[in-house]
Structure 1
Amino acid sequence: MTAARTIVITGASDGIGAAAARHLHAAGHTVVVVGRDPAKTARLADELGTTGHVADFARLDDVSRLAAELLAAHPRIDVLANNAGALHESYALTADGFERTVQVNHLAPYLLTRLLLGNVLAARGRVLWTSSAAVHTVRTLDPDAFGTPDPDARYRPLYAYAEAKAAGLLVMAELHRRFADRGLATAAFHPGLIASNFSADGDGIVGRFYRSRLKHLLAGPDAGARQLVHLAQDTTWEPGRYYERGRPARRTPPVLADAALARAVWARTEDLLASHVD
Protein backbone atom coordinates (compact mmCIF):
# COMPACT_ATOMS: atom_id res chain seq x y z
CA MET A 1 0.00 0.00 0.00
CA THR A 2 1.20 3.52 -0.83
CA ALA A 3 2.31 5.49 2.23
CA ALA A 4 -0.12 8.23 3.22
CA ARG A 5 0.83 11.61 1.80
CA THR A 6 -0.24 15.22 2.25
CA ILE A 7 -1.54 16.30 -1.16
CA VAL A 8 -2.53 19.86 -2.07
CA ILE A 9 -4.84 20.09 -5.09
CA THR A 10 -5.75 23.43 -6.66
CA GLY A 11 -8.87 23.77 -8.76
CA ALA A 12 -10.37 21.15 -6.47
CA SER A 13 -13.86 22.53 -5.97
CA ASP A 14 -15.17 20.92 -9.16
CA GLY A 15 -14.35 18.65 -12.08
CA ILE A 16 -11.06 16.77 -12.27
CA GLY A 17 -9.71 18.29 -9.06
CA ALA A 18 -12.72 17.28 -6.99
CA ALA A 19 -12.75 13.77 -8.46
CA ALA A 20 -9.04 13.32 -7.74
CA ALA A 21 -9.49 14.63 -4.20
CA ARG A 22 -12.19 12.04 -3.53
CA HIS A 23 -10.11 9.16 -4.89
CA LEU A 24 -6.96 10.19 -3.01
CA HIS A 25 -8.88 10.73 0.22
CA ALA A 26 -10.42 7.26 -0.14
CA ALA A 27 -6.89 5.86 -0.57
CA GLY A 28 -5.94 7.22 2.86
CA HIS A 29 -4.09 10.39 1.94
CA THR A 30 -4.49 13.78 3.61
CA VAL A 31 -5.98 15.91 0.84
CA VAL A 32 -5.97 19.71 1.06
CA VAL A 33 -8.46 21.24 -1.36
CA VAL A 34 -8.06 24.67 -2.92
CA GLY A 35 -10.79 26.29 -4.99
CA ARG A 36 -12.05 29.63 -6.23
CA ASP A 37 -15.71 29.13 -5.31
CA PRO A 38 -16.14 29.38 -1.50
CA ALA A 39 -19.36 27.36 -1.33
CA LYS A 40 -18.15 24.49 -3.54
CA THR A 41 -14.78 24.36 -1.81
CA ALA A 42 -16.35 24.27 1.65
CA ARG A 43 -18.82 21.60 0.54
CA LEU A 44 -16.06 19.29 -0.73
CA ALA A 45 -13.87 19.92 2.32
CA ASP A 46 -16.80 19.04 4.59
CA GLU A 47 -17.55 15.91 2.56
CA LEU A 48 -13.96 14.70 2.94
CA GLY A 49 -13.50 15.95 6.49
CA THR A 50 -10.46 17.88 5.36
CA THR A 51 -9.16 21.43 5.04
CA GLY A 52 -10.42 23.80 2.35
CA HIS A 53 -8.76 27.00 1.16
CA VAL A 54 -10.19 29.64 -1.17
CA ALA A 55 -8.04 31.62 -3.60
CA ASP A 56 -8.63 33.47 -6.86
CA PHE A 57 -5.62 32.94 -9.13
CA ALA A 58 -6.46 36.16 -10.95
CA ARG A 59 -5.14 37.91 -7.82
CA LEU A 60 -1.52 37.20 -6.90
CA ASP A 61 -2.06 38.50 -3.36
CA ASP A 62 -4.55 35.64 -2.96
CA VAL A 63 -1.87 33.18 -4.04
CA SER A 64 0.64 34.61 -1.54
CA ARG A 65 -1.95 34.42 1.24
CA LEU A 66 -2.83 30.86 0.25
CA ALA A 67 0.83 29.83 0.37
CA ALA A 68 1.23 31.33 3.84
CA GLU A 69 -1.84 29.44 5.07
CA LEU A 70 -0.61 26.16 3.60
CA LEU A 71 2.89 26.55 5.03
CA ALA A 72 1.49 27.28 8.48
CA ALA A 73 -0.93 24.35 8.43
CA HIS A 74 1.17 21.75 6.62
CA PRO A 75 4.92 21.75 7.36
CA ARG A 76 5.17 18.67 5.15
CA ILE A 77 3.71 18.80 1.64
CA ASP A 78 4.32 15.62 -0.34
CA VAL A 79 2.45 16.57 -3.50
CA LEU A 80 1.42 19.89 -5.02
CA ALA A 81 -1.03 19.34 -7.87
CA ASN A 82 -1.33 22.51 -9.95
CA ASN A 83 -4.72 21.67 -11.39
CA ALA A 84 -6.43 25.09 -11.43
CA GLY A 85 -6.82 26.69 -14.83
CA ALA A 86 -9.22 28.45 -17.16
CA LEU A 87 -9.65 29.45 -20.78
CA HIS A 88 -10.82 33.06 -21.00
CA GLU A 89 -12.40 33.99 -24.30
CA SER A 90 -11.93 37.75 -24.03
CA TYR A 91 -8.83 39.82 -23.41
CA ALA A 92 -8.52 41.27 -19.92
CA LEU A 93 -5.79 42.39 -17.58
CA THR A 94 -5.80 41.32 -13.95
CA ALA A 95 -5.36 43.73 -11.06
CA ASP A 96 -1.70 42.68 -11.15
CA GLY A 97 -1.33 43.94 -14.71
CA PHE A 98 -1.00 40.61 -16.50
CA GLU A 99 -3.15 39.08 -19.20
CA ARG A 100 -5.72 37.00 -17.36
CA THR A 101 -5.21 33.65 -19.12
CA VAL A 102 -1.45 33.62 -18.60
CA GLN A 103 -1.78 34.65 -14.96
CA VAL A 104 -4.36 32.04 -14.01
CA ASN A 105 -2.74 29.19 -15.93
CA HIS A 106 0.94 29.93 -15.47
CA LEU A 107 2.02 32.83 -13.26
CA ALA A 108 -0.20 31.98 -10.30
CA PRO A 109 0.65 28.24 -10.28
CA TYR A 110 4.34 29.12 -10.62
CA LEU A 111 4.12 31.53 -7.69
CA LEU A 112 2.40 28.95 -5.51
CA THR A 113 4.99 26.34 -6.47
CA ARG A 114 7.83 28.74 -5.76
CA LEU A 115 6.48 29.67 -2.33
CA LEU A 116 5.83 26.05 -1.30
CA LEU A 117 8.95 24.58 -2.88
CA GLY A 118 11.02 24.41 0.31
CA ASN A 119 8.41 22.26 2.04
CA VAL A 120 7.96 20.01 -0.99
CA LEU A 121 11.73 19.56 -1.31
CA ALA A 122 12.00 18.71 2.38
CA ALA A 123 9.50 15.90 1.80
CA ARG A 124 11.29 14.75 -1.38
CA GLY A 125 7.91 15.30 -2.92
CA ARG A 126 6.42 15.95 -6.31
CA VAL A 127 4.90 18.85 -8.25
CA LEU A 128 2.31 18.08 -10.93
CA TRP A 129 0.66 20.20 -13.62
CA THR A 130 -2.67 19.56 -15.31
CA SER A 131 -1.74 20.55 -18.85
CA SER A 132 -3.41 20.28 -22.25
CA ALA A 133 -2.79 18.68 -25.62
CA ALA A 134 -2.97 22.26 -26.91
CA VAL A 135 0.74 22.51 -26.03
CA HIS A 136 1.47 20.61 -29.24
CA THR A 137 0.43 23.72 -31.21
CA VAL A 138 3.11 25.91 -29.60
CA ARG A 139 6.42 25.88 -31.48
CA THR A 140 8.23 28.41 -29.29
CA LEU A 141 7.68 31.26 -26.82
CA ASP A 142 9.20 34.73 -26.67
CA PRO A 143 10.32 35.15 -23.03
CA ASP A 144 10.71 38.91 -23.45
CA ALA A 145 7.05 39.31 -24.42
CA PHE A 146 5.74 36.56 -22.20
CA GLY A 147 3.26 37.67 -19.57
CA THR A 148 2.80 41.14 -21.03
CA PRO A 149 1.10 40.67 -24.41
CA ASP A 150 0.39 43.57 -26.72
CA PRO A 151 -3.19 44.70 -25.98
CA ASP A 152 -3.50 45.98 -29.55
CA ALA A 153 -2.77 42.57 -31.03
CA ARG A 154 -5.68 40.28 -31.91
CA TYR A 155 -6.42 38.13 -28.88
CA ARG A 156 -6.67 34.43 -29.71
CA PRO A 157 -8.05 32.70 -26.62
CA LEU A 158 -7.17 29.13 -27.57
CA TYR A 159 -3.61 30.04 -28.44
CA ALA A 160 -3.22 32.20 -25.32
CA TYR A 161 -4.31 29.18 -23.30
CA ALA A 162 -1.93 26.90 -25.20
CA GLU A 163 0.99 29.28 -24.62
CA ALA A 164 0.24 29.51 -20.90
CA LYS A 165 0.11 25.73 -20.61
CA ALA A 166 3.33 25.43 -22.64
CA ALA A 167 5.01 27.81 -20.21
CA GLY A 168 3.94 25.56 -17.35
CA LEU A 169 5.39 22.59 -19.22
CA LEU A 170 8.73 24.37 -19.53
CA VAL A 171 8.76 25.27 -15.84
CA MET A 172 8.01 21.63 -15.00
CA ALA A 173 11.03 20.56 -17.06
CA GLU A 174 13.28 23.21 -15.51
CA LEU A 175 12.22 22.22 -11.99
CA HIS A 176 13.18 18.66 -12.86
CA ARG A 177 16.57 19.80 -14.15
CA ARG A 178 17.28 21.90 -11.06
CA PHE A 179 15.96 19.70 -8.28
CA ALA A 180 15.73 16.05 -9.37
CA ASP A 181 18.98 15.33 -7.54
CA ARG A 182 17.28 16.52 -4.33
CA GLY A 183 14.45 14.03 -4.73
CA LEU A 184 11.86 16.26 -6.42
CA ALA A 185 9.68 14.55 -9.03
CA THR A 186 7.74 16.61 -11.58
CA ALA A 187 5.30 15.78 -14.36
CA ALA A 188 2.60 17.35 -16.49
CA PHE A 189 -0.33 15.57 -18.10
CA HIS A 190 -3.20 16.08 -20.52
CA PRO A 191 -6.37 14.80 -18.81
CA GLY A 192 -8.31 14.35 -22.05
CA LEU A 193 -11.47 16.13 -23.14
CA ILE A 194 -13.56 16.10 -20.00
CA ALA A 195 -17.20 17.01 -19.33
CA SER A 196 -16.68 19.65 -16.65
CA ASN A 197 -17.49 23.31 -16.03
CA PHE A 198 -14.24 24.35 -17.71
CA SER A 199 -14.83 27.72 -19.43
CA ALA A 200 -18.59 27.25 -19.00
CA ASP A 201 -19.01 30.94 -18.15
CA GLY A 202 -17.31 32.06 -21.38
CA ASP A 203 -19.24 33.88 -24.07
CA GLY A 204 -17.38 32.39 -27.06
CA ILE A 205 -17.51 29.08 -28.88
CA VAL A 206 -15.73 27.14 -26.11
CA GLY A 207 -18.05 28.43 -23.41
CA ARG A 208 -21.12 27.66 -25.51
CA PHE A 209 -19.84 24.13 -26.10
CA TYR A 210 -19.32 23.47 -22.38
CA ARG A 211 -22.86 24.72 -21.66
CA SER A 212 -24.41 22.60 -24.40
CA ARG A 213 -25.64 19.02 -24.43
CA LEU A 214 -22.58 18.13 -26.51
CA LYS A 215 -20.54 18.38 -23.33
CA HIS A 216 -22.01 15.09 -22.21
CA LEU A 217 -20.35 13.29 -25.13
CA LEU A 218 -17.04 13.84 -23.35
CA ALA A 219 -15.53 11.64 -20.65
CA GLY A 220 -16.47 12.36 -17.04
CA PRO A 221 -14.22 13.99 -14.41
CA ASP A 222 -13.28 10.60 -12.93
CA ALA A 223 -11.61 9.66 -16.22
CA GLY A 224 -9.60 12.87 -16.24
CA ALA A 225 -8.64 12.43 -12.60
CA ARG A 226 -7.03 9.02 -13.11
CA GLN A 227 -3.70 10.41 -14.28
CA LEU A 228 -3.53 12.92 -11.44
CA VAL A 229 -4.24 10.16 -8.93
CA HIS A 230 -1.63 7.89 -10.52
CA LEU A 231 1.06 10.58 -10.57
CA ALA A 232 0.25 11.69 -7.01
CA GLN A 233 0.63 8.30 -5.35
CA ASP A 234 2.45 5.83 -7.60
CA THR A 235 6.21 5.50 -8.06
CA THR A 236 6.30 3.72 -11.42
CA TRP A 237 6.43 6.79 -13.66
CA GLU A 238 9.35 8.73 -15.12
CA PRO A 239 9.77 12.28 -13.74
CA GLY A 240 10.27 15.31 -15.94
CA ARG A 241 7.91 14.06 -18.66
CA TYR A 242 4.62 15.09 -20.23
CA TYR A 243 1.94 12.37 -20.07
CA GLU A 244 -1.06 11.54 -22.21
CA ARG A 245 -3.36 8.55 -21.60
CA GLY A 246 -1.36 7.46 -18.59
CA ARG A 247 2.03 7.21 -20.30
CA PRO A 248 4.69 9.55 -21.68
CA ALA A 249 3.27 11.21 -24.79
CA ARG A 250 4.28 9.53 -28.05
CA ARG A 251 5.00 12.95 -29.53
CA THR A 252 7.02 15.30 -27.35
CA PRO A 253 5.54 18.83 -27.42
CA PRO A 254 7.98 20.96 -29.46
CA VAL A 255 8.80 23.38 -26.65
CA LEU A 256 9.69 20.59 -24.23
CA ALA A 257 12.73 19.70 -26.33
CA ASP A 258 14.23 23.19 -25.85
CA ALA A 259 16.16 23.29 -22.56
CA ALA A 260 17.45 26.81 -23.25
CA LEU A 261 13.89 28.06 -23.69
CA ALA A 262 12.89 26.39 -20.40
CA ARG A 263 15.65 28.30 -18.61
CA ALA A 264 14.64 31.55 -20.32
CA VAL A 265 10.95 31.17 -19.40
CA TRP A 266 11.92 30.32 -15.82
CA ALA A 267 14.08 33.46 -15.60
CA ARG A 268 11.39 35.65 -17.19
CA THR A 269 8.74 34.30 -14.83
CA GLU A 270 11.02 34.96 -11.86
CA ASP A 271 11.44 38.56 -13.05
CA LEU A 272 7.70 39.07 -13.46
CA LEU A 273 6.99 37.76 -9.96
CA ALA A 274 10.03 39.20 -8.18
CA SER A 275 7.98 41.43 -5.89
CA HIS A 276 5.98 38.41 -4.69
CA VAL A 277 8.82 36.00 -3.94
CA ASP A 278 11.33 38.20 -2.10
Structure 2
Amino acid sequence: MSTVVLIGATSGIGRRVAERLAADGHRLILVGRDPARAVALAKKLPDAIVMAADVSVSGGVEQVAAALAGDERIDVLINNAGVMTPTYQESAEGVELNLAVHHLAPWRTVALLGPLVPPGGRIVNVNSEGHRSPMRGGVVRLEPERLADGPGEFDPFLTYSRSKLANLLFTYELQRRRPDWNVVAVHPGMVRTDLGRQFPRLQVAAIHAFALSTHKGAEPIIQLATAAEASTGYYNRFNKVRSSPISYDEDLARRVWSTTEHLATA
Protein backbone atom coordinates (compact mmCIF):
# COMPACT_ATOMS: atom_id res chain seq x y z
CA MET A 1 0.00 0.00 0.00
CA SER A 2 1.01 3.63 -0.49
CA THR A 3 2.44 6.15 1.95
CA VAL A 4 0.11 9.15 1.84
CA VAL A 5 0.66 12.60 3.34
CA LEU A 6 -2.64 14.44 3.73
CA ILE A 7 -2.54 18.14 4.61
CA GLY A 8 -5.85 19.35 6.04
CA ALA A 9 -6.88 16.01 7.48
CA THR A 10 -8.60 16.66 10.78
CA SER A 11 -12.07 17.87 9.73
CA GLY A 12 -14.54 17.95 6.86
CA ILE A 13 -13.54 16.31 3.60
CA GLY A 14 -10.00 15.66 4.79
CA ARG A 15 -11.13 13.60 7.74
CA ARG A 16 -13.36 11.46 5.50
CA VAL A 17 -10.46 10.93 3.09
CA ALA A 18 -8.22 9.91 5.99
CA GLU A 19 -10.75 7.43 7.37
CA ARG A 20 -11.27 5.80 3.99
CA LEU A 21 -7.56 5.56 3.15
CA ALA A 22 -6.88 4.09 6.59
CA ALA A 23 -9.60 1.48 6.06
CA ASP A 24 -7.96 0.58 2.75
CA GLY A 25 -4.67 -0.08 4.52
CA HIS A 26 -2.55 2.86 3.39
CA ARG A 27 0.20 4.27 5.60
CA LEU A 28 -0.93 7.77 6.55
CA ILE A 29 0.76 10.94 7.76
CA LEU A 30 -2.06 13.33 8.63
CA VAL A 31 -1.70 17.06 9.28
CA GLY A 32 -4.23 19.52 10.67
CA ARG A 33 -4.08 22.98 12.21
CA ASP A 34 -6.19 22.34 15.33
CA PRO A 35 -4.35 20.38 18.08
CA ALA A 36 -7.57 19.10 19.70
CA ARG A 37 -8.86 17.75 16.40
CA ALA A 38 -5.48 16.17 15.72
CA VAL A 39 -5.66 14.35 19.07
CA ALA A 40 -9.21 13.16 18.32
CA LEU A 41 -8.18 11.87 14.88
CA ALA A 42 -5.17 10.07 16.33
CA LYS A 43 -7.49 8.22 18.69
CA LYS A 44 -9.79 7.33 15.79
CA LEU A 45 -6.91 6.18 13.54
CA PRO A 46 -4.24 4.82 15.91
CA ASP A 47 -2.09 3.41 13.11
CA ALA A 48 -1.69 6.80 11.44
CA ILE A 49 0.87 9.47 12.24
CA VAL A 50 -1.11 12.59 13.14
CA MET A 51 0.41 16.00 13.81
CA ALA A 52 -0.87 19.51 14.44
CA ALA A 53 0.79 22.17 12.29
CA ASP A 54 -0.30 25.51 10.85
CA VAL A 55 0.69 25.26 7.17
CA SER A 56 -0.34 28.88 6.50
CA VAL A 57 3.15 29.81 7.74
CA SER A 58 6.55 28.51 6.71
CA GLY A 59 7.29 27.18 10.20
CA GLY A 60 4.29 24.86 10.05
CA VAL A 61 5.39 23.30 6.77
CA GLU A 62 8.96 23.05 8.08
CA GLN A 63 7.58 21.23 11.14
CA VAL A 64 5.95 18.64 8.88
CA ALA A 65 9.11 18.25 6.79
CA ALA A 66 11.26 17.79 9.91
CA ALA A 67 8.93 15.08 11.23
CA LEU A 68 9.24 13.20 7.93
CA ALA A 69 12.98 13.63 7.50
CA GLY A 70 13.59 9.92 8.19
CA ASP A 71 11.04 8.69 5.66
CA GLU A 72 12.29 7.05 2.50
CA ARG A 73 9.39 7.97 0.23
CA ILE A 74 5.99 9.61 -0.09
CA ASP A 75 3.82 8.03 -2.77
CA VAL A 76 0.95 10.53 -2.60
CA LEU A 77 0.84 14.11 -1.28
CA ILE A 78 -2.65 15.61 -0.91
CA ASN A 79 -2.93 19.38 -0.34
CA ASN A 80 -6.41 19.78 1.11
CA ALA A 81 -6.14 22.61 3.67
CA GLY A 82 -8.84 25.23 3.09
CA VAL A 83 -10.22 28.47 4.46
CA MET A 84 -12.90 31.02 3.60
CA THR A 85 -13.39 34.22 5.57
CA PRO A 86 -15.98 37.00 5.32
CA THR A 87 -13.42 39.66 6.32
CA TYR A 88 -9.78 40.31 5.52
CA GLN A 89 -7.45 38.14 7.61
CA GLU A 90 -3.72 37.49 7.52
CA SER A 91 -1.51 34.57 8.42
CA ALA A 92 0.97 35.03 11.26
CA GLU A 93 3.47 36.02 8.55
CA GLY A 94 1.26 38.87 7.32
CA VAL A 95 0.01 37.20 4.11
CA GLU A 96 -3.68 37.32 3.18
CA LEU A 97 -5.07 34.07 4.55
CA ASN A 98 -6.68 32.60 1.40
CA LEU A 99 -3.44 32.95 -0.53
CA ALA A 100 -1.40 31.63 2.38
CA VAL A 101 -3.51 28.48 2.80
CA HIS A 102 -4.58 27.66 -0.76
CA HIS A 103 -1.42 28.58 -2.65
CA LEU A 104 1.66 29.27 -0.53
CA ALA A 105 1.10 26.21 1.66
CA PRO A 106 0.95 23.70 -1.25
CA TRP A 107 3.94 25.39 -2.91
CA ARG A 108 6.01 25.11 0.28
CA THR A 109 4.81 21.58 0.99
CA VAL A 110 5.90 20.39 -2.44
CA ALA A 111 9.19 22.27 -2.17
CA LEU A 112 10.10 20.69 1.18
CA LEU A 113 8.57 17.22 0.79
CA GLY A 114 9.25 16.84 -2.91
CA PRO A 115 12.64 15.14 -2.37
CA LEU A 116 10.72 12.24 -0.80
CA VAL A 117 8.33 11.86 -3.76
CA PRO A 118 9.83 9.40 -6.28
CA PRO A 119 9.23 9.32 -10.04
CA GLY A 120 5.66 8.16 -10.53
CA GLY A 121 4.57 9.81 -7.28
CA ARG A 122 1.33 11.76 -7.17
CA ILE A 123 0.44 15.29 -6.05
CA VAL A 124 -3.26 16.03 -5.52
CA ASN A 125 -4.23 19.68 -5.07
CA VAL A 126 -7.80 20.24 -3.91
CA ASN A 127 -9.05 23.17 -5.98
CA SER A 128 -12.42 24.69 -6.82
CA GLU A 129 -14.65 25.58 -9.74
CA GLY A 130 -14.46 29.01 -8.13
CA HIS A 131 -11.17 29.47 -9.98
CA ARG A 132 -13.31 30.32 -13.04
CA SER A 133 -15.57 32.92 -11.46
CA PRO A 134 -16.45 33.97 -7.90
CA MET A 135 -19.83 33.08 -6.45
CA ARG A 136 -21.21 36.56 -7.17
CA GLY A 137 -20.06 36.42 -10.81
CA GLY A 138 -17.29 38.24 -12.63
CA VAL A 139 -13.89 37.37 -14.04
CA VAL A 140 -10.93 36.06 -12.07
CA ARG A 141 -7.60 37.67 -12.93
CA LEU A 142 -4.21 37.76 -11.22
CA GLU A 143 -1.43 40.30 -11.03
CA PRO A 144 1.50 37.84 -11.11
CA GLU A 145 3.96 40.17 -9.40
CA ARG A 146 1.47 40.98 -6.64
CA LEU A 147 -0.60 37.95 -5.72
CA ALA A 148 -2.04 38.85 -2.33
CA ASP A 149 -5.07 41.12 -1.97
CA GLY A 150 -4.74 43.93 0.55
CA PRO A 151 -7.45 44.95 3.04
CA GLY A 152 -8.89 47.52 0.63
CA GLU A 153 -9.18 45.01 -2.22
CA PHE A 154 -10.58 42.11 -0.25
CA ASP A 155 -13.77 40.45 -1.43
CA PRO A 156 -14.52 37.12 0.28
CA PHE A 157 -15.50 35.33 -2.92
CA LEU A 158 -13.18 36.98 -5.44
CA THR A 159 -10.16 36.68 -3.13
CA TYR A 160 -10.95 33.00 -2.61
CA SER A 161 -11.24 32.50 -6.38
CA ARG A 162 -7.92 34.25 -7.04
CA SER A 163 -6.15 32.00 -4.57
CA LYS A 164 -7.59 28.92 -6.30
CA LEU A 165 -6.52 30.21 -9.72
CA ALA A 166 -3.01 30.74 -8.36
CA ASN A 167 -3.02 27.16 -7.08
CA LEU A 168 -4.18 25.83 -10.44
CA LEU A 169 -1.47 27.76 -12.30
CA PHE A 170 0.99 26.25 -9.82
CA THR A 171 -0.42 22.77 -10.47
CA TYR A 172 0.15 23.01 -14.22
CA GLU A 173 3.57 24.61 -13.88
CA LEU A 174 4.63 21.93 -11.41
CA GLN A 175 3.66 19.25 -13.91
CA ARG A 176 5.74 20.97 -16.59
CA ARG A 177 8.74 21.17 -14.24
CA ARG A 178 8.28 17.63 -12.89
CA PRO A 179 6.93 15.51 -15.77
CA ASP A 180 7.99 12.39 -13.84
CA TRP A 181 5.23 13.07 -11.29
CA ASN A 182 1.47 12.73 -11.71
CA VAL A 183 0.06 16.13 -10.69
CA VAL A 184 -3.72 16.68 -10.53
CA ALA A 185 -6.13 19.30 -9.25
CA VAL A 186 -9.70 18.48 -8.26
CA HIS A 187 -12.91 20.32 -7.48
CA PRO A 188 -14.67 17.93 -5.07
CA GLY A 189 -18.03 19.64 -5.47
CA MET A 190 -19.88 22.03 -3.19
CA VAL A 191 -19.64 20.22 0.13
CA ARG A 192 -21.22 20.75 3.55
CA THR A 193 -18.16 21.55 5.68
CA ASP A 194 -17.36 24.17 8.30
CA LEU A 195 -15.20 26.08 5.80
CA GLY A 196 -17.58 29.06 5.82
CA ARG A 197 -18.38 28.94 9.53
CA GLN A 198 -17.53 32.64 9.97
CA PHE A 199 -20.20 33.71 7.47
CA PRO A 200 -23.79 34.57 8.53
CA ARG A 201 -25.69 31.46 9.55
CA LEU A 202 -28.56 31.91 7.09
CA GLN A 203 -26.14 32.37 4.20
CA VAL A 204 -24.31 29.17 5.11
CA ALA A 205 -27.59 27.27 5.54
CA ALA A 206 -28.77 28.32 2.06
CA ILE A 207 -25.56 26.99 0.49
CA HIS A 208 -25.59 23.78 2.53
CA ALA A 209 -29.14 23.01 1.40
CA PHE A 210 -27.75 22.11 -2.04
CA ALA A 211 -24.34 20.80 -0.97
CA LEU A 212 -22.90 17.30 -0.90
CA SER A 213 -22.01 15.39 2.24
CA THR A 214 -18.37 15.22 3.28
CA HIS A 215 -18.44 11.52 2.38
CA LYS A 216 -19.45 12.40 -1.19
CA GLY A 217 -16.94 15.21 -1.34
CA ALA A 218 -14.14 12.88 -0.30
CA GLU A 219 -14.80 10.32 -3.04
CA PRO A 220 -13.10 12.06 -6.01
CA ILE A 221 -10.05 12.93 -3.89
CA ILE A 222 -9.69 9.30 -2.85
CA GLN A 223 -10.00 8.13 -6.44
CA LEU A 224 -7.42 10.59 -7.76
CA ALA A 225 -5.05 9.71 -4.94
CA THR A 226 -5.20 5.97 -5.49
CA ALA A 227 -6.47 5.06 -8.99
CA ALA A 228 -3.72 3.95 -11.35
CA GLU A 229 -5.55 5.34 -14.37
CA ALA A 230 -5.87 8.93 -13.08
CA SER A 231 -4.02 11.16 -15.55
CA THR A 232 -2.63 14.63 -15.00
CA GLY A 233 -4.92 17.65 -15.29
CA TYR A 234 -7.98 19.23 -13.69
CA TYR A 235 -11.05 17.30 -12.52
CA ASN A 236 -14.55 18.43 -11.69
CA ARG A 237 -15.24 15.62 -9.27
CA PHE A 238 -14.64 12.44 -11.31
CA ASN A 239 -14.52 14.04 -14.74
CA LYS A 240 -11.37 15.45 -16.32
CA VAL A 241 -12.37 18.81 -17.80
CA ARG A 242 -10.87 21.98 -19.24
CA SER A 243 -10.22 24.60 -16.60
CA SER A 244 -10.51 28.34 -17.27
CA PRO A 245 -8.60 29.65 -20.32
CA ILE A 246 -6.34 31.85 -18.20
CA SER A 247 -5.19 28.83 -16.18
CA TYR A 248 -3.33 27.56 -19.27
CA ASP A 249 -1.27 30.75 -19.69
CA GLU A 250 2.28 29.40 -19.33
CA ASP A 251 3.93 32.81 -19.13
CA LEU A 252 1.54 33.82 -16.36
CA ALA A 253 2.24 30.55 -14.53
CA ARG A 254 6.00 31.12 -14.67
CA ARG A 255 5.61 34.66 -13.32
CA VAL A 256 3.28 33.45 -10.55
CA TRP A 257 5.83 30.76 -9.67
CA SER A 258 8.61 33.37 -9.42
CA THR A 259 6.52 35.64 -7.17
CA THR A 260 5.48 32.67 -5.06
CA GLU A 261 9.09 31.59 -4.63
CA HIS A 262 9.94 35.05 -3.35
CA LEU A 263 6.97 35.13 -0.95
CA ALA A 264 7.57 31.61 0.30
CA THR A 265 11.25 32.12 1.06
CA ALA A 266 11.21 35.76 2.22
Indicate yes or no: 2:216 matched with 1:223: yes
Question: TM (normalized to structure 1)?
Answer: 0.88
Indicate yes or no: 2:249 matched with 1:248: no
Deviation at 1:109, TM superposition (A): 1.9
Instruction: Assess, with a 3 A threshold, how the Cα gap between structure 1 residues 214 and 128 changes in structure 2: closer, same or farther.
Output: closer
Match of 1:195 in 2: 192
Instruction: Assess, with a 3 A threshold, how the Cα gap between structure 1 residues 113 and 80 changes in structure 2: closer, same or farther.
Output: same
Alignment partners' CA distance in 1, 2:187 and 2:40? 27
Alignment partners' CA distance in 2, 1:220 and 1:98? 31
Alignment partners' CA distance in 2, 1:266 and 1:214? 33
Match of 1:63 in 2: 61
Indicate yes or no: 2:9 matched with 1:12: yes
Q: Structure 1 stretches of 5 or more lacking a match?
A: none
- As a proportion of its length, which structure holds more helix? 1
Match of 2:32 in 1: 35
Q: Which residue identity does 1:267 align to in structure 2?
A: S
Is contact 2:56-2:104 (8 Å) kept? no
Indicate yes or no: 2:116 matched with 1:119: yes
Structure 1 residue ranges, 4+ long, deviating more than 4 angstroms after superposition: none
Q: Structure 2 stretches of 5 or more lacking a match?
A: 134-138
Q: How does 1:57-136 map to 2 (within 5 A)?
A: 57-72=55-70, 74-120=71-117, 122=118, 124-136=120-132
Alignment partners' CA distance in 2, 1:173 and 1:154? 27
Give percent identity, aligned residues only.
Answer: 33
Deviation at 1:243, TM superposition (A): 0.2
Alignment partners' CA distance in 2, 1:140 and 1:52? 37
Q: Which residue identity does 1:146 align to in structure 2?
A: L
Indicate yes or no: 2:200 matched with 1:209: no
Instruction: Assess, with a 3 A threshold, how the Cα gap between structure 1 residues 208 and 116 changes in structure 2: closer, same or farther.
Output: farther
3-state SS of 2:125 partner: strand
Instruction: Assess, with a 3 A threshold, how the Cα gap between structure 1 residues 208 and 42 changes in structure 2: closer, same or farther.
Output: farther
Alignment partners' CA distance in 2, 1:214 and 1:177? 36
Alignment partners' CA distance in 2, 1:267 and 1:214? 36
Alignment partners' CA distance in 1, 2:36 and 2:53? 12
Q: Which residue identity does 1:144 align to in structure 2?
A: E
Q: Which residue identity does 2:223 align to in structure 1?
A: H
Number of residues paired by the alignment? Answer: 260
